[in-house]
Amino acid sequence: MCGRYNLLRPWSELVALYRITVDPKPLNLAARYNVAPTQDVPIVRRVGDAGERELAMARWGLVPFWAKDIKIGYKTINARAETVHKLPAFRAAFRRRRCLVAADGFYEWHALSKSEKQPYHITLPDRRPFAFAGLWETWQSPDGTPMQSCTIIVTEANDFLRPLHNRMPVILEPEHFDDWLDIGRPLEETQRLFAPFSGDLTAWAVGRVVNSVRNDGPACIEPTSPAVTSREPIALPFSLS
């Protein structure tokens, strides 16, 4: 799954990286080291038939348009790649409302015991750009106020991350951004994007400061072990703090 991530790039870099063309007004986006569910996050989506892109803010935890209560969003921060196209909570958004969830890295926890978990930070080497495959939706509250929300699609973990967890977010590099946003692509072609990430990844253990959503600073990604790359599977346990 993907329950926390970070986004450190400033607004200007996001506009260039995601080729934002629709109303690219400056947004005061502070570096986020510990993004958590229910928070507002930047997403990139297509607008109009010309395929232009806009940067928007959406609440993490998708609330389907038909939902009676916003609380459903606590259960829909992630959508499984195997069923996203057919589950009622996601299928309408999958067909018509895809997005890129801007990110620089994400966290995963490895259980050391029933009461103790070690967090790890995972990213692409050399801070290469990527995005999570996501969906967005608009929901109206009982008083008629619209709210936009999103989810991150998860798939099977690759060999590198499997020692940590059996799932991982669907990672898209820039050459696949258009492929994901194109809702006219055949289903089987779109599903190929859901394969476990085959590119290089880097991971390192971090301190338990990241466990609390109240902590959102550089300490969240501070290594407590040497980084390892996907040239070989993670060997657990890491050197722990």
Structure token digits, residue 139:
């929901």
SS3 209: helix
CATH of domain 5-229: 3.90.1680.10
DSSP secondary-structure letter at 52? Answer: E
Give the per-residue pLDDT at 112: 86
Output the pTM of the full model: 0.94
Give the per-residue pLDDT at 237: 63
Residue from 2, 99, 150, 220 carrying the catalytic annotation: 2
Residues 6+ apart with CB under 8 A from 100: 18, 43, 44, 45, 131, 132, 133, 134, 172, 177, 180, 181
Antiparallel, parallel or unpaired: β 52-60 and 146-156:
parallel
Number of Cβ atoms within 10 Å of the Cβ of 50: 8
User: Which pLDDT tens digit goes with each residue over 47-105?
Assistant: 987 789 999 999 999 999 999 989 999 999 999 999 999 999 999 999 999 999 999 99
Residue from 13, 52, 99, 108 carrying the catalytic annotation: 108
Nearest to 164 by CA among 84, 228, 209, 104: 228
- For the question of residue 99 being annotated catalytic, the response is no
Question: Which portions of the chain are predicted below pLDDT 70?
Answer: 24, 233, 235, 237-241
Amino acid at 110: H
- For the question of residue 2 being annotated catalytic, the response is yes
Give the per-residue pLDDT at 240: 44
Give the per-residue pLDDT at 50: 76
Amino acid at 51: G
